[in-house]
A and B are shown apart, each in its own frame.
Chain A
């Protein structure tokens, strides 16, 4: 199915911006990377691409001095944060000292834009004038799939709901304006949550500033649906993310699991390996829809992955078997022609099978199942007002803190805050078990509304019932409802979108009023001729792809106890 909106343009546009800057500097150059950006920029171009523009070395922005080098142009590529400016100041000064008589040219490129605070910081350090130029690399969005893009704003939720800093909304609105600039004004805008409203208001303002068919825009504030990220995803891709972490469409797995395959296939080198980056024992495996088998099974409930992989295995081997039946020359020729395709298929099958085995290992050799069970009980809303014995047990066992926090937050959200007694019990147990240094993390979670004392009656029952958040008879292998992704729980945000399509949000006003934040339902003017009914196709723009772990981590405060 071809989408009307294809995010491929994002990659092209970003590449062009990058090329524009790269080609403005003649001669060999080194890029000193902001670590967070390396992976993301892999989505734009790999090292070979950069090499074409005479990028000969890559380093990291860090406390350390740059390795000695004789490259005349040094480019610092970073998001504008204060810390990075401090590091850059240091690295630049040391580089000036070390380079001796050879004068080097320094450049600073900020993604997506230069910020005043950083400029001020550089001025304070007195290195502001040391750069040949300070430029913006206006990349606001990154394409993950043709229908999924992200803004790479990893602290968006933390800033919004903990620091009450809504700066990121500006970037979101900008990105949406960019999309509308290319595909036309989006006539229908729906949304839920205060951040959604914020984005919409900014967009309206920007439209006036820019002077500016039928798609709809649905803006959902993460604060409206805190439950879903905390629940464990049970799709194939979701589990890979849960156990190993997928970043920028790439997962890193122990390479020894794949060695045998390498000697056989040998052609699946990771996309952006480069000289200075050593991923040790880990192998980067790209996970995108470019791999047809992965595209096929990524959204399968994990229980359906095994059967699918075996049938694929049978298919592949039967293809190979055909060589025995190839009697005539033309049969043989046909077979040989198919060979490369078959090899790719076999390669991909073997990779996915290995990954699936790794996932399976994790499921068996951990307390994954009891945790899932506890989580599903919570999602059903049962006994959320008491201390949960499973969580208690986890704390006793000093299970990883993130896991414990995930469950406690889930309980707190579903119960609309915990009873004072329960809240204090958890808090004290966590501090007594994991240490006082987590005090601030708990404060953060409280500010963000994830771990709170109960304010009023729980509305979860209403929401669950109206939106059919939990479904009992889930068909995991042939799903008919989105609840299959959590084996019984349907993501709240997805349900909101579904209900918007049919029967419309008017039918669920009781839910909309109990969910936090204002509701947007605006129609931007468009001639009626452009409106036509068809099954909806969705494209998604997100600030960052998250899972329960990364979500909680983003809110944690890292205090090092005195040693």
Chain B
């Protein structure tokens, strides 16, 4: 079958192939030989820089960055000393190491990110080589100095240089080769010097010699290579021997295993399986290799190929002469399209195993790069599936979906040549990040929509990144316009945080844009702190007030209060009545002095007066109480609230009178109300004093009469009461006399006044005096049903009377 013509057999049933990914977009005359080439794994970008020969020791050179398909992304001038190494971090940042151990990090667009160095010792002894590696959680970097010492940082984000133990050997003999091995969280180094191999254990601070038995005596290891997962190692020796084994060097692989080692000499590529079988490929030009988790990419001046082992399922489905169900289904499907009877013949042979056949077809498609072959395989899978009605359609569907995404990102213009396995390993979410990083927002957005990812991890995230990018770009447009554009795209999608975007704008110093953007944030709790940080005090206050969230308002007020002079602060918040009332309320609870200041500043005499009144009641001494009250009275007068002023001044007058009375009577009067004071005086028989108060405070006659009646009654001064009842100035009826007598315990006294009670009240007052019979008689005389009802309801227990009432005819009105 034509599909497999480029397969290379390596032992039985194991094939390798090297399909072309791209015809490189860069100038084909480019000679890679002249450059240091660094390509990021997982289909990342490629960096090129001119190799510095010792002769032409130049500290200025150009660094070019290309996509994996050879499209130039950027180029920039390197001016930071002699460049030793360039490599890519896990986040696709370019890591450049110079001779003195300074490390500079750029993003893929050549924007400088940050820098660190390996310390004085490295600076003094100069970096000879460097290696980048994946550490426990981040990207690590290691350097070998000209003094043959190794230094490692485990994270380029939080760099901390660790010095490794010295590699034993003659000081003049160089370290021949070295590599990093990760074990759990720890990074160790394998290094060869002279004819010995050492494991440098950082934890133990020891160089452990490693003994490997070479067939022909000691060998010097010239090259060490570690597999991506740190499990396998390959050593290449001076005499051309290759040793492949587990990374702890304890097991030498002999037969099993799936990996292989690729050796590159000039233009010859040799693939050696772990079984020791090998095959050779010839390349067209000088090339550079990129190690991936499941393959090796080969970058030459003209093409970009991928070398990988043909997966078993593909071998079965597409291998020459294969009779597996998948192969037969593929055959059948092709026959069907050609209208050939081959279709039925083949189908007939796999009746029982159709499901397996379908699976094999779509699984093969997963690993195929060629789109027409992908289609042929998927078509075969779908063709087969029509005969298996109950088969779960999901896997097949998901393969189709994922392949579309893979094809889209592999496209020459995008240039991310990842394999199915790589995508599974890195996840779609990371892929979206990478697209976003490349500023391919529309593609990322489409993928997110296509996969129906939840907004928060899909479209919203992409849009948010887009917005962050957008606000960082220099633009001729006004800030208003940019903010509007961002809002038009993003709307109010849940999961979009305008706060983040505004923060980005702020970071690049575009404060006014940040203010415009934060305007769109709909969570006041996020929005307000940003506004405060941006110095938008009024805006923050407004938003906080709109939110209705008192705590947020207090936060703003608190911030402003700490930042401004009191006068300015008050001047600001007086424009916001709601803020003002909240501030006043909290002052009431905690800071009366400030409250006074506010009322003073506002010329709010009324509230000042009220405050004085509270003060009067907090006062510990009577004279200070008087002062406060007097103050309150004056303040009330200023507000034209004469009535309040008068009653407040009356209170002052009253207290003065009470003080005088206390001195005279040796009794406590202060803080009794006016009427209680008068009542007390009447009870004490001090009628003159009471009348003086009546005159001083213009107590109404009616009120005074009541006081007299109740005062005498309470003191059981019945004679005085009687005398008072004959007073000509009496302006009240006799009902209060009866009430007062009853209240203070004498119905006998009460009855004295009954006859003078108004007719219409008589029944009620008879009842009050427990003269039920009289009440009944009167009610009967009046022939009033309502009066009878009143009598009846007030003497429920008096059965005799109740019966009498029952007997009364209902003809009463």
Contact = CB atoms under 8 A, between A and B. Distances in A.
Given A163-B581, A170-B548, A396-B706, A435 B672 contact: yes
B577 interface: yes
Given A167-B550, A437-B617, A440-B610, A116 B558 contact: yes
B223 to A, nearest CB: 57
Contacts of A440: 610, 613-614
Contacts of A117: 551, 554, 558, 586
Given A116-B554, A208-B492, A439 B647 contact: yes
Contacts of B577: 164
B606 to A, nearest CB: 9
B100 interface: no
B643 A443 contact: no
Given A165-B550, A170-B549, A562-B617, A431 B647 contact: yes
Interface string A416-460: 000000001001110111111101100100000000000000000
A211 interface: yes
Interface string A129-170: 000000000000000000000000000000100011111011
Given A116-B551, A205-B547, A165 B582 contact: yes
A166 B579 CA distance: 10
B657 interface: no
B247 interface: no
A562 B548 contact: no
Nearest to B793: A364
A436 B651 contact: yes
Contacts of A198: 548
Nearest to A172: B548
Interface in B642-678: 643, 647-648, 651, 654, 670-676
A497 interface: no
A116 B578 contact: no
A427 B549 CA distance: 37
B547 A170 contact: yes
B651 A202 contact: no
Contacts of A396: 703, 706, 710, 736
B558 A120 contact: yes
B613 to A, nearest CB: 6
A78 B654 CA distance: 43
| Interface SS of chain A | helix
Given A115-B554, A165-B582, A205-B547, A561 B671 contact: yes
Contacts of A562: 617, 619-620, 622, 625, 670-671
B809 interface: no
A169 B648 CA distance: 36
Contacts of B585: 159, 163, 165
Interface in B521-561: 522-524, 546-551, 553-555, 558
Among B551, B654, B671, B676: residue with most chain A CB under 10 A: B551
Contacts of B647: 427-428, 431, 436, 439
Nearest to B620: A562
Given A163-B581, A170-B549, A436 B554 contact: no
B589 interface: yes
B768 to A, nearest CB: 12
Interface string A391-434: 00000101000000000000000000000000010011101111
A116 B614 CA distance: 27
Contacts of A165: 550, 581-582, 585
A428 B582 CA distance: 32
B140 to A, nearest CB: 37
Contact of A559 (B548, B614, B654): B614
A428 B703 CA distance: 12
B803 interface: no
A469 to B, nearest CB: 26
Given A117-B586, A208-B522, A432 B550 contact: no
B697 interface: yes
Nearest to B625: A562
Instruction: Indicate the size class of the contact surface on chain A.
Output: 35 or more
A82 interface: yes
Contacts of B558: 116-117, 120
A223 to B, nearest CB: 16
B257 interface: no
A434 B555 CA distance: 42
Interface in B571-606: 577-578, 581-582, 584-586, 589-590
A361 interface: no
A238 to B, nearest CB: 22
Among A159, A166, A424, A560: residue with most chain B CB under 10 A: A166
A165 B648 CA distance: 28
A3 B523 CA distance: 34
B494 interface: yes
A225 B590 CA distance: 33
A164 B547 contact: no
Interface residues of B, number: 50
A22 B523 CA distance: 30
A209 interface: yes
A212 to B, nearest CB: 9
A211 B493 CA distance: 8
Contacts of B578: 164, 166
A113 B551 CA distance: 9
Interface string A507-528: 0000000000000000000000
A496 interface: no
A198 B550 CA distance: 14
A173 interface: yes
A408 to B, nearest CB: 16
Contacts of A208: 492, 522
A68 interface: no
Among A121, A166, A439: residue with most chain B CB under 10 A: A439
Contact of A563 (B584, B671, B675): B671
A153 B588 CA distance: 19
A433 B673 contact: yes
Contacts of B706: 396
Among B548, B555, B617, B647: residue with most chain A CB under 10 A: B548
Contacts of A561: 617, 671
Given A435-B672, A440-B610, A211 B494 contact: yes
B617 A560 contact: yes
Contacts of B654: 436
A209 B586 contact: no
B106 to A, nearest CB: 38
B548 A436 contact: no
A202 B548 contact: yes
B617 to A, nearest CB: 4
A446 to B, nearest CB: 10
A559 B546 contact: no
Given A163-B585, A205-B546, A396-B706, A115 B613 contact: no
A559 B581 contact: no
A359 to B, nearest CB: 16
A113 B552 CA distance: 12
A360 to B, nearest CB: 11
A82 B582 contact: no
A159 B588 CA distance: 13
Interface string A191-207: 00000001001100100
B636 to A, nearest CB: 10
4 closest Cβ contacts across the A-B interface? Answer: A167-B550, A211-B494, A164-B581, A561-B671
14 contacts: A83-B589, A116-B558, A164-B581, A198-B548, A398-B675, A427-B647, A431-B673, A433-B673, A433-B675, A433-B676, A435-B673, A439-B647, A440-B614, A559-B614
Given A120-B558, A435-B676, A560-B617, 11 more contacts: A115-B551, A116-B558, A165-B550, A165-B581, A165-B585, A167-B549, A208-B492, A431-B647, A432-B697, A433-B674, A433-B676
Interface of A: 82-83, 113, 115-117, 120-121, 159, 163-167, 169-170, 173, 198, 201-202, 205, 208-209, 211, 396, 398, 424, 427-429, 431-437, 439-440, 443, 557, 559-563
